[in-house]
A and B are shown apart, each in its own frame.
Chain A
Amino acid sequence: MKPVDFDYAAPKSVAEALELLAAWRHEAKILAGGQSLVPLLVARSVRPRFVIDINRVAGLGYIEERDGGLAIGAMVRQADCEASPLVRRSCPLLAEAIRWVATPQVRNRGTVVGSLAQRNAISQIPTVGAAIGGRLKIVGSGNRMRTAETEAFLDASSAATLQPDELVLECWFPEQKPGTAWAFVEVQRRLAHYALVGVAVVFAIDPAGLITDARVAASGVADRPIRLGSVEQALSSRPATREVFAEASRAAVNDPLMAPREDVHATAEYRRAVTPTLVERALIQAKARLEAEIQSGRQ
């Protein structure tokens, strides 16, 4: 099956793109990487009358350090972000999470911002956003600019979510400070397939060996990636030991935000049951990576 007939433009500027968006609103679709949109068009589950291709809009391909974090323009491909030395240094959790996105061929087209804009409950980049926070720069008709916190943006019921006349210009992730432990893990049916559940963790260990600033997020267990506050609390100010990791992970099962659903790939019970396993695995991996970093730094 092929897409329904639509009109198409590839504007060269944000202003031009916004004009088209203001004119077509609900009937328009923004085409960036297209790795999710094109299959939806081919299946005709999305039937726009106009497709606005922003691939030729100038000045949206940057990755730069700003305000203690990384600003990533709307046309930055996932593969370029994954390979960027700047991202690997300042936000290694993001680079690692992208490695789990679909396949290398898809990551050559798919964009970081597009992944956030779609708010898919299982996607890796939104899961990083849920874990470490961040914000999005959004522009609407009349050049109306606003900033949305990533966590609020990902919640479809929140006022911060994307409106039909709006375009996301960039996303921003806070820098991971040196000495941060981090990990991203997933369980998939097979390599490069959709995740059933994914988990991102970051935390620090204070001089006394106690866990601070723990942030734990999970995908695939609610209508959006969620922060597991119960696990974060159970980790806070506790020694970074295997026993504590195991015990804190178990809190995930009864986290108030957990609302896993059943589909053809896994039951809701499985998704709930596998989450603590993944959290524990991520915590162990994160600590081991941090220790290895400290070790290699000393030599």
Chain B
Amino acid sequence: MSQRHSLILEVNGQMRNALVAPRLLLCDFLREDLELTGTHVGCQVGACGACTVLLDGKPVRSCLLFALQAEGRAIRTVEALGTEQALHPVQEAFEEQHGLQCGFCTPGILITVAHFLESHPEPTDEEIMAVLAGHLCRCTGYRNILAAVRAAATQIARDKAAASPRPPG
């Protein structure tokens, strides 16, 4: 066995440390060591997108990264998106628009879409489909996912408008 290495990183706002083997993938570290099983592992070769998490704020495949590569970085998983009582608008929209069936691909899609809508508040369908191309869904045929992303964008815009003070006059 190769030497284990010390690993310190931030996961969902909490500092975590562990001793890990170099070959341990980030997705397996999250699921098995930290018991954050919201991140799903589908293909393990970067094709399906189910394992997508945010690394320093950017969506990446956690199956294409060794845990040790996240040393000193911040990871955000689907567990940090919303709570059961207060879902993230993207989660709410997926529920309302039936944007999932079996739900296996959903955690990765939620992470990608929540990140995408921050930089694309009014996305076109083409832009949405381009970012969804990084995710495979075998159930929905993507139509409801598209509808859910559109609905989430609208809701986030509404929430923002309600939160910001009205212009003077």
| Number of A-B residue pairs with CB-CB distance less than 8 Å in the complex they form | 92
Task: Out of A4, A53, A104, name the residue touching B131 (CB < 8 Å).
Answer: A104
Instruction: Pick the residue among B5, B55, B69, B130 that contacts A191 (CB under 8 A).
Output: B130
Q: Is the CB of A106 within 8 A of B61?
A: yes
B61 with A7: CB separation less than 8 A? no
Please tell me if B46 contacts chain A, counting CB pairs below 8 Å. Answer: yes
Closest Cβ of chain B to A78, distance in Å, is 12
Provide the bound-state CA to CA distance between A6 and B66, in Å.
12
Contact B65 A108 (CB under 8 A): no
Inter-chain contacts of A104 with B (CB < 8 A): 59, 112, 130-131, 134
Alpha-carbon distance between A1 and B63 when the two chains are bound, in angstroms: 12
- Chain A residues contacting B44 (CB-CB under 8 Å) are 1, 39, 42
- Whether A5 pairs with B61 at a CB distance below 8 angstroms is no
Within 8 A of A (CB), among B26-40: 28
**8 closest pairs, A vs B, by CB?**
A103-B134, A8-B22, A192-B133, A39-B45, A191-B133, A3-B23, A38-B64, A105-B134
What residues on B are CB-neighbors of A5 within 8 Å?
1-2, 21-23
Per DSSP, chain B at the interface is: mixed
The reply to whether the CB of B153 lies closer than 8 angstroms to some CB of chain A is: no
| CB nearest to B28 among chain A residues | A2
Would you give 18 A-B contacts (Cβ < 8 Å), ordered by A? A2-B23, A3-B23, A5-B2, A7-B2, A8-B22, A8-B68, A34-B69, A38-B25, A38-B64, A39-B64, A42-B63, A102-B46, A103-B49, A104-B134, A105-B60, A106-B46, A109-B60, A191-B130
